[in-house]
Structure 1
Amino acid sequence: MRLRPLAASIAAALLVLSPAIAVQPHPVQHTWNGDLTLDQAIRLALKQNPNVLKALWQIEQTRGQIIEVRSEALPHVALTSSYFQQSKSLLAGRGGNLSNSTAGTNNTGSNSFNTSDLSKQLANIPGVSQSAAGQVASAVQNSVSQAQGSQPSTSSFGGGDISWNVDVQVTQTLYAGGAIRSAINIAKFTDDSSYFNLRDVIDQTIDTVRQQFYTVLLNRELIKVQEESVKLLEDQLKESSRTVSKPAQCRVSTCCKARSHWRTSSRN
């Protein structure tokens, strides 16, 4: 019987059906009716053996590692965005006109900062004293004055109370000192090792099934021999009951019971 070609064909079939096997959380349980041949026993063992399923999972894992390592050599695209909106009631405290700001008019009188209004709004907040509100308003006025003195007035999108920003960044590794190539080679070597591991697991499973299969056949033949021996002893017991003494009959009866007990345990 050629088992090596059988192992190769079964391994190929398992690799093709590995996605379907991976979906199932547990091995499928089968009940067998009738006689079981050696080929059928090997196929059933390869389908349900947890070591074979584990080796298949390792192959899937190494494939994912190869894809992950190769992606390091490909361009990467990063997209970031930000959105900021300020309450119009806070902007109204500056004494500015949003429509004029949108139009881009440089009207210093309308866009002047009103310190007293901001100080009053801050003083209305519970826990903020009048002096602290005045200090904050003065600091804000100084910052606004410096900004207006260093930059000219320009139009702002959304009326001055809304701002947004979108950044698109494309990067690609041009030189990494051979790290990416080495990582790809290691991933390929790991993938090859997982395939050889699968072949080794399949060979071990086939050898184990063969040993257990022939052990069962041997035990079945031994049971038949013991059954014939028990039958012979029973016939001898019947014949000796007429001519042999009681002690001899007891010895023969004890031997028959021992053989019957061994036969029952062997069947189990």
Structure 2
Amino acid sequence: MKLKIIAPIAAACLAAVPGAVAQADNTNFISRPLSLLDCLNIALRHNASILEAQRDLKASQGIVIQTRAVALPQLSVNGQYKDTERTAIESFGPPASSGGPAFSISPPVQNWNGDVQLVQAIYSGGRLAAAWQAAGVTRKQAAAQYDTAVAGALLDTRLAYYDVLLANQQITVQEASVTLLQKELEDQQNRYQAGTVPHFNVLRAEVALANEQPALIQARNNFRIAKNNLANLLGYNLPRDIWEDVPLNLSGSLDDRPCPVNLPDAIRQALAHRTELTALRETERLRQLNVVNARSGYKPDVSVFAGYGWKNSQFVDPGDLAYTLHGWNAGAQVSWDIFDGWLTRGKVVQAQALYKKSQISLADEARQIELQVRTAYSQFVEAGEVLDSQKKVQEEAEEALREAEARATAGTGTQLDVL
């Protein structure tokens, strides 16, 4: 989350170095220098977070279909065949003692039936319209969540790319410092052998060099970690035989091109375009529709149906299964739970509470995004000021080193001036 807060401001200031777009299927591709554009396109195809978001988006399509199902007609086909033992079937007819002819009617031991039924709900207390609207809202919510995941993954990739470039530059700086101290050590050793300086000067140069080595080691380690992080965001499966240095080469470079940012405009753009807010707005709408759905339990359900059925005869030649009775049927059905043990009331209370919670979450997220933009803006201003000051420091340090070396060579300066 911390990385994402700079999206509204800093993302516009990071320029991509032109390069061909290519797809990476294995680690052999890593040896090719990658531009920022290359990395972003590779991440779009292979980043795990983006791939997971694509599956979530696909799953949401299934939820949309399920949500709309309640408002669509239901068509079903049913069939049954049953064979019953004769002793389990009761015959009926006038008893023999009635004086009339004695006979009995026995239903068949074999029975079958089948039907096709179409049912359409026409009223459910607002649940049908709410379900249809909820399907559209769910689709918008899923799209916003997918956009959020993609934006986050691309921002992480962009930052990781520049982290690698920065770590590489830090190695260059530390190597230059170590090289300078090595040169100073060699100079003091030569002077000591010539008898112009005491051995203490040599020891001091050795200590200074030894103290600088850990910074170089740490810079190289940070470089390895940064490349591993970038490779992971690109979706690479690194071979297990790669222990330390990942063969990942970048063609980009760090730059400090000016990027004017107006804080009020940045806040306004963030509140208007951040997909996190879009997703939460759709969540709020879904919660509102859930309240309508819960209240529908207070009202009746009305549906109509029509169908066609077939069955074997029970009385005309009951032994002949081929003698079929068939025909149409149609009607309407009403169901109304007059008292359901306060089940509907409980659903309404829950739905209303979740709706209020979604409103609070939306307002809080808007405040958090504004805070993120303000924080990122402050960091952006700080970085610019530090960069300007460091440029001056670098110029003065280079001049001071040149003068110190000149004085030391002439014998008018001390070793401390150089170190």
Check if 1:80 corresponds to 2:33: no
Q: What is residue 192 of structure 1 aligned with on the other side? A: 140
2:189 to 241, 244, 247: 241
Other structure's SS at 2:211 match: helix
> How far apart in 2 are the matches of 1:52 and 1:219?
26
Name the amino acid aligned to 2:31.
Answer: N
TM superposition shift of 1:265 = 2.5
Structure with the bigger RCO (C-alpha within 8 Å, sep 6+) is: 1
SS of equivalent to 1:36: coil
SS of equivalent residue, structure 2 residue 31: coil
Query: d(CA) in 1 for partners of 2:93 and 2:25?
Result: 79
Which runs of 5 or more structure 2 residues have no equivalent in the other structure? Answer: 1-10, 13-23, 96-102, 192-196, 222-419
Q: Residue 100 of structure 2 aligns with which residue?
A: none
| Offset of residue 247 of structure 1 | 2.0
Amino acid at match of 2:94: G
Correspondence for 1:33? 31
- The aligned counterpart of 1:172 is 120
Q: In 2, distance between residues paired with 1:60 and 1:148?
A: 64
CA distance in 1 between partners of 2:199 and 2:32 (Å): 46
What secondary structure does 1:73 align onto? coil
Instruction: Give the conservation status (yes or no) of the 8 Å contact 2:75–2:118.
Output: yes
- Distance, in Å, in 2 between the alignment partners of 1:210 and 1:77 is 52
Identity %: 25
Residue aligning to 1:52: 50
**Larger Rg belongs to:** 1
Structure 1 gap ranges (5+): 5-27, 92-139
Pairwise mapping of residues 1-268 of structure 1 onto structure 2 (< 5 A)? Answer: 30-31=26-27, 32-87=30-85, 144=91, 147-149=92-94, 160-243=108-191, 244-268=197-221
CA separation in 2, counterparts of 1:84 and 1:218?
A: 79
User: How far did 1:153 drift?
Assistant: 6.4
Measured against aligned partners, the alpha-carbon deviations of 1:70-127 in whole angstroms (never above 9, x if no partner) come to 333333222222222245xx56xxxxxxxxxxxxxxxxxxxxxxxxxxxxxxxxxxxx
Relative to structure 1, is the Cα distance of residues 29 and 149 closer, same or farther in structure 2, using a 3 angstrom cutoff? farther
Q: CA RMSD in A?
A: 3.0
**Counterpart code for 2:78:** T
Preserved contact between residue 223 and residue 263 of structure 1 (Cα < 8 Å): yes
Match of 2:372 in 1: none
3-state SS in 2 of match to 1:81? strand
Deviations 1:151-179, CA, capped at 9 Å, x for gaps: x86797xxx43222223322111223331
Secondary structure of the 1:217 match is helix
Give the aligned length: 186
Corresponding residue SS for 2:82: strand
How far the C-alpha of 1:63 sits from its partner, in A, is 1.5
SS in 2 for 1:84: strand
